[in-house]
Structure 1
Amino acid sequence: MDEFEAIRPYSDAEVPGVLNRLLADEALLAVLAHFRFPRLAGPLGWLLKPLIAFRLRRQFGSISTVEALQNRIEHYVDRTVERATDGTTYSGMEQMQRGCAYLFLANHRDIVMDPAFVNYAIFHAKMRTPRIAIGDNLLQRPFVSDLMRLNKSFIVHRSLVGRREKLAAYQVLSAYINHSIRNDNESIWIAQAEGRAKDGDDRTDSAILKMMHMSRKSESFAETLAALRPVPVSISYEYDPCDQAKARELYIRATTGTYSKAKGEDDTSIALGITGYKGRVHIHFSPPMTQIPEDAKQMAAALDRQILQGYRLFPVHYLAYAMWMKREPELQVPAAHELFGRQELAKAEDEWNKRLNACPNEHRPYLIQQYAMPVRNQYRVKAGLPL
């Protein structure tokens, strides 16, 4: 039996069977009907679902490989990017070799679009897209798991509670990541920390780096990580469609000490993250790391410096920093008007004011913090100061 059976993406041989299962899945068809025809999905769902299934079968019924599926959905991804952004750019791709597998370690702001934008950049650079780490907390419904595993996602078991079960799951995950890069020559994308950086403070969790070494104890930490060819990735959104919800959560946590997600909250975040306005988006790939420290915390700090240096700051970030109560004068951060043209700045001021006005007064400090924190972090890195 395949030791990675429970977590790995689907293989080409499994694609036709999984697609047939999805095209007959009532829950998936109901979601698609509601998304495409929100007013009619209730009373006419019995009619819409077979029609949607028929159309999907015509579009995807003949697909038999993962690559063919990604080629087919490229059009939909491109259209989504065009509708929800003012353009997507990327840099640093020239520092990687085609045919070579890498470990892409990225900051984490959006549940679905972070890996989607990395895939977008890599696909358009005509390189093989990576396998994507996704938490099992997002796979509550079988059709979601099928969809993600069809698109080269593998499962990270985060919902386990027992220490022994967690340890066993991370051992398998570690072995899978190493096997994927070393044996299958397939790249991996994984976020630098579990959960989105809702306060804008992008930091690498050293526990994730230690996990990758768990299955290779015969090697040193540095040897194992070097063999994975880690690439720090900086994903920069001009605007975050979920910024209001994140500010609300941060306020509740700060005032009550805890926060409990409402039913369906992750689904709402996913939908808003995909369709909501993001302004400009930039993805930067730093050079593959060759000097790996022996200590996981030191490597996490090195990753942080690369990710923060590669982050693209937009006018809104400087506008927020100028309003932030925790700004640090010694960093000598320039004002937005010193860096950006009048027209670009006026557009940013208009959008930023809309977001501020839509945010309750008590939540505003947390909205400002989300956009100001990347400025603080990047300028501390530039000044050689600790984060």
Structure 2
Amino acid sequence: MSNFDHIRPFYDTEVNQAIREISDDPMMKAIMNFTFPEMEEKEWKKELNRTYSIRDFQINFIYPAIEMVLKRSSQGLTYSGLHQLDQHVPYLFISNHRDIILDTSLLNYVLFNNGLMMTSSAIGDNLVKRPLLMTLSRLTRNFMVQRGLSARELLESSKLMSAYIQDLLFHENRSVWIAQREGRTKDGNDATQKGVLKMISMARGEVKEMEYFKKIHIVPVSISYEYDPTDVLKMPELMAKSRSEVYVKHENEDFNTILNGIMGQKKRIHVHVDKPLDGEIDKIIKSGEAANKQFQYLCEVIDQKIVSNYKLWPTNFIAHDLHHGGEQYRDKYTKEEREEFQSRMAKGIDLQDEVAVKNFLSMYANPVTNQEALKVKS
């Protein structure tokens, strides 16, 4: 048995059996009927039962499912920066994180469209408690991040995950996706947690931290949704935070968020993939600062790339103007777009609740504020 068995995706030798075990699940049938509305059940079952690899499952079933999601719940996906990558090099993609499933799915969609290697992706095991979701996540090359551990268990889990990421990059020659922070960004402030970088570096051995980060080719990714399909679902946690209360999730909250993230309206979506940070890391090494300071510098570089490459939509500028009671960005949106945004907000929250309004607007306005701050710094 491998040390990674309880966190890894399926091996190809396990794929067909796993597919056969879920093919009669009502939710699997719903997914297939959504993806292939013109196809009889016996047809897609026949194709499923002839699938023996993760790649085939992704290309023949997940890729069409993502295309259907984009068709039904968006006004299109655009992307940029892919020309900066080499199809033969595995990368560590560090991304902002807005949606549980779609963030990594959309990145893999654009990587595949451009002849680039798809990723193995980190996902919290708390999000895939249902057997079908666990199987689907392992069939799409996700590996498990263990949640809810004691301090000692967390240390051991972090070491294991760091070793597994290293194994993927160096031995399987497989790119990896990981979010810049634990959990999704709820308030629009995309910030890298130093702890994520420290976890990644645990497997470095005798190599210095920044030298190791240079070897694994860190690539920042910015994912921008014109409408966050889960904006209203994020409000209870934001409200609790504004009242300095501990937020406790409801039993089916993660599952409902996954469904809403997939099927909720997003309008336009943009994915920007930056070039590897090798040059920036060289500068950090030359600074000669202590290791902890260098970690902080790397966090700042990743944040600067993700924030500056985040595509600002009319919704972001509308929210910024409404939040600040002005018309600074009036030329960035139409009257109809502003009315549509205000209508969406009115349906989702109580407009008489000033704190709710502030939190909702901030969610969309903060990317603008953060880009403004970067311009001031530069």
**Number of the residue aligned with 2:119:** 130
- Indicate conservation of the 8 Å contact 1:130/1:186, yes or no: yes
**Number of the residue aligned with 2:2:** 2
Equivalences for residues 226-265 of structure 1 within 5 A: 226-255=214-243, 257-265=245-253
The answer to whether the aligner puts 1:90 opposite 2:89 as a matched pair is no
The answer to whether the aligner puts 1:22 opposite 2:25 as a matched pair is no
**Number of the residue aligned with 1:44:** none
- Listed as ranges, the gaps of 5+ residues in structure 1 are 38-51
| Whole-angstrom CA distance in 2 between matches of 1:113 and 1:241 | 11
**Number of the residue aligned with 1:47:** none
**Number of the residue aligned with 1:376:** 369
From the superposition, tell whether residues 221 and 232 of structure 1 become closer, same or farther in structure 2 (CA, over 3 Å): same
Matched residue type, 1:87: G
Determine which of 131, 134, 149 is the counterpart of 2:138.
149
**Number of the residue aligned with 1:286:** 274
C-alpha distance after superposition, 1:114-137 (max 9, x if no partner): 111111111111212100100011
**Number of the residue aligned with 1:337:** 330
**Number of the residue aligned with 1:43:** none
C-alpha distance after superposition, 1:159-195 (max 9, x if no partner): 22x2221111110100111111112110000000011
Deviation, structure 1 residue 242: 1.1
| Whole-angstrom CA distance in 2 between matches of 1:20 and 1:124 | 28
Matched residue type, 2:92: L
Deviation, structure 1 residue 256: 5.5
The answer to whether the aligner puts 1:181 opposite 2:151 as a matched pair is no
Matched residue type, 1:17: Q
- Indicate conservation of the 8 Å contact 1:80/1:274, yes or no: yes
Matched residue type, 1:281: I
| Whole-angstrom CA distance in 1 between matches of 2:234 and 2:85 | 34
**Number of the residue aligned with 1:192:** 180
User: Tell me, what secondary structure is at the counterpart of 2:156?
Assistant: helix
Query: Which aligned runs of 4 or more in structure 1 are off by greater than 4 angstroms?
Result: 32-37, 52-56
| Whole-angstrom CA distance in 1 between matches of 2:14 and 2:146 | 22
| Whole-angstrom CA distance in 2 between matches of 1:256 and 1:181 | 40
User: Tell me, what secondary structure is at the counterpart of 2:174?
Assistant: coil
- Listed as ranges, the gaps of 5+ residues in structure 2 are 34-39, 285-290
- Indicate conservation of the 8 Å contact 2:92/2:218, yes or no: yes
| Whole-angstrom CA distance in 2 between matches of 1:33 and 1:187 | 31
**Number of the residue aligned with 1:68:** 56
**Number of the residue aligned with 2:98:** 109
| Whole-angstrom CA distance in 1 between matches of 2:375 and 2:140 | 38
From the superposition, tell whether residues 319 and 125 of structure 1 become closer, same or farther in structure 2 (CA, over 3 Å): same
**Number of the residue aligned with 1:364:** 357
| Whole-angstrom CA distance in 2 between matches of 1:21 and 1:279 | 35
Identity %: 32
**Number of the residue aligned with 1:317:** 316
Deviation, structure 1 residue 143: 2.2
**Number of the residue aligned with 2:152:** 164
**Number of the residue aligned with 2:197:** 209
From the superposition, tell whether residues 155 and 378 of structure 1 become closer, same or farther in structure 2 (CA, over 3 Å): same
| Whole-angstrom CA distance in 2 between matches of 1:75 and 1:127 | 18
**Number of the residue aligned with 1:300:** 299
Deviation, structure 1 residue 56: 4.6
Aligned residues: 358
| Whole-angstrom CA distance in 2 between matches of 1:143 and 1:69 | 15
- Indicate conservation of the 8 Å contact 2:93/2:176, yes or no: yes
The answer to whether the aligner puts 1:31 opposite 2:42 as a matched pair is no
**Number of the residue aligned with 1:41:** none
Matched residue type, 1:213: S
- Indicate conservation of the 8 Å contact 1:108/1:197, yes or no: yes
Higher mean alpha-carbon deviation, 300-309 vs 253-262, is at 253-262
TM-score, normalization: structure 1?
A: 0.87
- Indicate conservation of the 8 Å contact 1:23/1:53, yes or no: no
Deviation, structure 1 residue 15: 0.9
